[in-house]
Each structure stands twice: as structure tokens, then as C-alpha cells.
Structure 1
Amino acid sequence: MRPEALALLAAGCWAVSSLFSAPPAQRLGAFAFSRWRMLFASLLLWALAASSGGWRSLDVSALGLLAISGLIGIFIGDTALFACMNRLGPRRSGVLFACHALFSGVLAWVWLGEVLWGWALLGSLLLVGGVMLAIVWGKRSDESHHWEQTRGRLVVGVCLGLLAALCQSVATLMLKPLMSTGIDAVAASAVRMTLALAAHGLLWLLWRGARAQAPVRWHDAWLTFLSAAVAMALGMTLILKAMHLGQAGLVAVLSSVTPVLILPLLWLAYRRRPAMGAWWGAALAVLGTALILR
């Protein structure tokens, strides 16, 4: 499968998982939710790596890079993202996280020497612009859903969202050379997830603020498991595979369509259609994707 298609599938996984994630993340808190999510994802990934034999591709020399990537992208990045979501909701946290496409484009040029030209560059600009437009103008003036409320200081939520986007870019791009060696994407994801979970466990022991805000209910556990399976076990593996096969900056741009894909899902949750700006933004994002894939 083409790397562009893999990146789009990963974006779809992240969009679907955001609806599973929002309720338990708000109830348990960002730290506790991330910890349970990583536990479920680690178990799933190691089971897949063991059954497929992908664990044999792991090399001791790769563990250090996978550990750093896991700490930056999952331990810090994911926790910051859900802390942002708890404050600003899925829609506004989505527009901040979509900035990872811009960060990735710049970092891919600085670190890897990748440059977008021609139709790919035009398509990338249209896609990123469409994503921003869809989310910034995607709220109706009379919308009162609790996911649209701001909890705490707005500036803190914005900083957390941008931190999550930057961590996602750095953690993914630093694995590009490693993925080119032929390491199994599932096994690599399993190692990253396990090491990030270990860091969360250490934080839980040392800091009381990392404890759960409420007891874990069966419904919370089920939604967290679905989020882990769709976003982390499947979505992250797809993005690593795409990174192995394609251009890192382009993969990051395509994976940033997640907020546009969230819009129809939020329509189902709100029971009200998105604002006109959301439709225009989605149309630009689709056009940009078509230019990239042409």
C-alpha cells in the first residue's frame, strides 16, 4: 500500500479514537487515562509482534532511539494532548495538534533534507490551510456542547496543544532513518509504548498529581481499550510503516487531516451539522489531498 494511503488511514484511526478518548480522559484525568491507554496498547502490540514474529527484527542498538522517541512522542506528547483536550475539547485541541504538519515540514527539511515542490507543495498548503479553516470556523455560533467549553486558562490549553504537536513531529521524524533499516513497525511501536508506560509508572510512584481523579469504571476501561487499539496499536503502526515507505514531511502533512475527519463524527455526537466554514475547510483539504496523490 502507498505511504500516502497509510498516512490517511492513520489519520482516520486518530479521528475515530478521539471520540472514545474524550469521556474517560476528562473523568480520569490526562495522566491516568494515558497510563491505562498505554497499558492496553502495549499488551496488544506485543501480542501482535509475538504472533507475527516481528520481534525478531529488533536490535539492541535500536532500543535507545526507540526509547527517546517513545518518551517524547507518547509519554510527553500524548499526555499533553489529552490535557489539552480536557481543557479545550476535541475540536480546538485538534487544530492545535494539526500544527504538527507544519513542524514536521520544517524539521524534515532541516534534519533529512526533504523539500516539497510542485503539486505536492501546493497540495500540502491547501490541505493544512483547509484543516485550520475547518476547525477554526467549524463551530456554530449557537453551539453549547460541553466539549466546546474552556476549562481552566485558555493559554495553558494552547501551550499544551502546541507541545503535543511538536513532540509528535520530533518523535516521528527521528525514527525515519531507523524505519529504513527494515525494523518491524509493530515491534517498534511495542517498544516505544512499553518504555513510555514505564516512565508513566515511575511518575505515578513519585508524584501524587499523576494519580487518577476518579475510580476506573468498566465503561471507562472499555472506551480506553478501544482508543488504545484504534489509535495506538493500529494508527501509530500505520504511521511508522508510512514513514518507512514515504517522504517524512509528506506523510506528516497527510496525517494532519485528522481534525477534518473528526467533523462528521462530532456531527453525530452533537446531532447538528458543522458550520459552513467547516465545509469549506474540508473541501480545501480534500483538494489538497488530491493534488498530493495525483
Structure 2
Amino acid sequence: MQYLGEICALLTACCWSGSALAFSAAALRVGSVRLNVTRLLVAAVLLFAVVLLAGFEPHLSTSQLRNLVISGIVGLVIGDTFLFKAYESVGARTGMLIMSAAPAMSALLAYLLLGEILGSMGFIGMAVTLFGIALVVLEQRASSSVQPGSYSKGIMYAFIAAAGQAGGLVLAKMAFNEGPVNGFVATLIRIVSAIIVIFPIARLAGEYNDVLALYLRDRKALSLTFLGAFLGPFLGITLSLISVSYTSVGISATLMATVPILMLPIVHFVLKEQVSWRAIIGAVVAVAGVAVLFLR
């Protein structure tokens, strides 16, 4: 199908916009670690059912499996845990705007680790993206009702999340470069790997006790978690992996990076938040920087 990769990338951006808002609300109710573990468990069940019913087989080399496992740990355990912590402090819109730095970080990692050519336009694209992020972050810091220390931590968490997603994407791309991998199978491997790591850690740390009772008391948190899990780690991540397998990483990453722009009308019309012109310009500039970086 023509433009399948591009269509999947745009659908990914739509899914991530919806999941970001759902997870942001859920994180405030149940906490970032509980949310991350639960949504991974939900997504794993959904993906396992799809893989089983469709009869997808994991024809993977040892190195492909290794890269997908590490990708899941870096992107879904480290990256997403810090993203949900960022949501608690600065909200979904700012958190996802900072996540637009992930493609730039991916390109830099590919340049440093894989020897991919970046060039002067690549560095210009990174600078433009960071400038767009700074426009919004500095404005919101001045007007935010959140304590300055908490806001700064939220921004730091979001940048750590972006780095985690970047590392996870590069590792997943390395697996796809070796040979064809089914998107649902790859996503299931990443998620199961993440669960194997994060679940025992969360239990030992006392961060995942009495979760069932908590969710039964708060049905809204349960519905938000399920909605976010379906749109994000189940549908969104799968579409993103399908996208990078059918089109270039540059085009895919650029289209997926439109999340900050897609979220603006949602937060304005659905959540009734005021969106300043500076926020709009900053989001557009950040995405434009991603376009310069990858479409040069």
C-alpha cells in the first residue's frame, strides 16, 4: 500500500496524543510507577491475543531479540516512567512538547553509535527544536502555579524520558535493519521485557501493592489507564514500528513528532485550557526543527 508508513506515523501521533492525556490524568490518581506497570500488563495481554489469534511467528535472530529486549527496557521502563513523572509535575502538553526532542536525540545517538551522517543541517534542526521547546517551557515556568522546584524536576524528567525513547527507537531500528520483523511481535517482546524488569522492582519498592483495590475504588483511573494502554503501548507503539519498517526514519519521526501540535486543539476545546500564541508558535517551531533534522 502506497504511503502506508506515512499513514501509520500520523495515526501514531493521534494515538500518542490521546494516550498522553489519558495517562496524565491517571498518573495524578494512581502515581507514575503503578500506572506504568499496569498499562504494560494491559498492553501485553492485548498484544499476546493479537499475536496468538493472527498466528504471527517470531522469526528473529539472537541479535534482533537482544536489541528489542534492551529497547523495551530503555524506552518503556526508563523512558516512560520518567514521562509519567513529568506528567504529574508539568502536565501532558508540556511533557509531550519536550518529547519532541526525542527525534533529535535519536539522530545524535545514531551519529555517535552507528556512524550515520548528521551534517550541519542536522545540528541546525536540533537547535530549532530546542528553541521551540524553550519558548514554551520558559513562558510556562513564569506563569505556572506549580512550585519552581517541582516544575524544574518535571522538565528534567521529561528530557530523561525523551532520551529513553530515543535510545529505545535506535535499538528497535537496529533490530529492523537486520531483517523483517512483525510490528506486533516486536512490540510484545519490548513490553514483556519491560514488565520482567519493572514489575519485581516496583513490588520490592512497595510501589505496586494493593493495586487492584486501588483501581476498584477509582473506576475513572481504571478506565483512563485502559484507554491509554490501548492507544499508547498497544496501538501507538505497534503503528510506530510498522511506520519505520515501511518508510524512512526521518519521515516517520517527523510525522510522529506532530503530537505537540495535535494536542493544542484537544487541550483547548476538550480540557478548556487556555493556549497562548507563544505555546502555538513554540510547538510549531519544535516540530519544524524535527522536519529540518530529518528531511534535509
Q: Same fold (TM over 0.5)?
A: yes
Cα deviation for residue 275 of structure 1 reads 0.9
* Contact 1:173–1:248, Cα closer than 8 Å, also in 2: no
Cα deviation for residue 176 of structure 1 reads 1.2
Q: What residue number does 1:175 align with? A: 172
* Contact 1:94–1:135, Cα closer than 8 Å, also in 2: no
Q: What residue number does 1:96 align with? A: 98
Q: What residue number does 1:259 align with? A: 260
| Cα distance in 2, alignment partners of residues 134 and 9 from structure 1 | 27
* Contact 2:127–2:289, Cα closer than 8 Å, also in 1: yes
Cα deviation for residue 230 of structure 1 reads 0.6
Cα deviation for residue 202 of structure 1 reads 0.6
* Contact 2:79–2:161, Cα closer than 8 Å, also in 1: yes
What does the per-residue CA deviation read over 1:214-242, in whole Å, with 9 as the maximum and x for residues that have no partner? 81122222111110111111111111122
* Contact 1:75–1:200, Cα closer than 8 Å, also in 2: yes
Farther off after superposition, 91-100 or 126-135: 126-135
C-alpha spacing 1:121/1:62, structure 2 compared with 1 (3 Å): closer
1:99 is paired with a residue whose SS is: helix
Cα deviation for residue 14 of structure 1 reads 0.7
Fraction of identical pairs, as percent: 28
Q: What residue number does 2:79 align with? A: 77
* Contact 1:84–1:93, Cα closer than 8 Å, also in 2: yes
Q: What residue number does 1:228 align with? A: 229
TM-score, normalisation: structure 1: 0.83
TM-score, normalisation: structure 2: 0.82
Cα deviation for residue 276 of structure 1 reads 1.3
| Structure 2: gaps of 5 or more residues | none
Cα deviation for residue 56 of structure 1 reads 4.0
Cα deviation for residue 280 of structure 1 reads 2.9
Q: What residue number does 2:220 align with? A: 219
2:57 is paired with a residue whose SS is: helix
Give the partner amino acid of 1:82: F
What does the per-residue CA deviation read over 1:222-281, in whole Å, with 9 as the maximum and x for residues that have no partner? 111110111111111111122223333553343222122111111124425511123334
Cα deviation for residue 116 of structure 1 reads 5.7
Farther off after superposition, 200-209 or 176-185: 200-209
Give the partner amino acid of 1:252: A
Q: What residue number does 1:43 align with? A: 45
Cα deviation for residue 125 of structure 1 reads 6.1
Q: What residue number does 1:196 align with? A: 194
C-alpha spacing 1:71/1:283, structure 2 compared with 1 (3 Å): closer
1:98 is paired with a residue whose SS is: helix
Q: Does 1:205 align with 2:206?
A: no
| Cα distance in 2, alignment partners of residues 67 and 52 from structure 1 | 22
* Contact 1:124–1:253, Cα closer than 8 Å, also in 2: no
Q: What residue number does 1:32 align with? A: 34
Q: Does 1:20 align with 2:17?
A: no
1:23 is paired with a residue whose SS is: helix
Q: Does 1:105 align with 2:107?
A: yes
C-alpha spacing 1:56/1:104, structure 2 compared with 1 (3 Å): closer
| Cα distance in 1, alignment partners of residues 102 and 9 from structure 2 | 14
Give the partner amino acid of 1:206: L
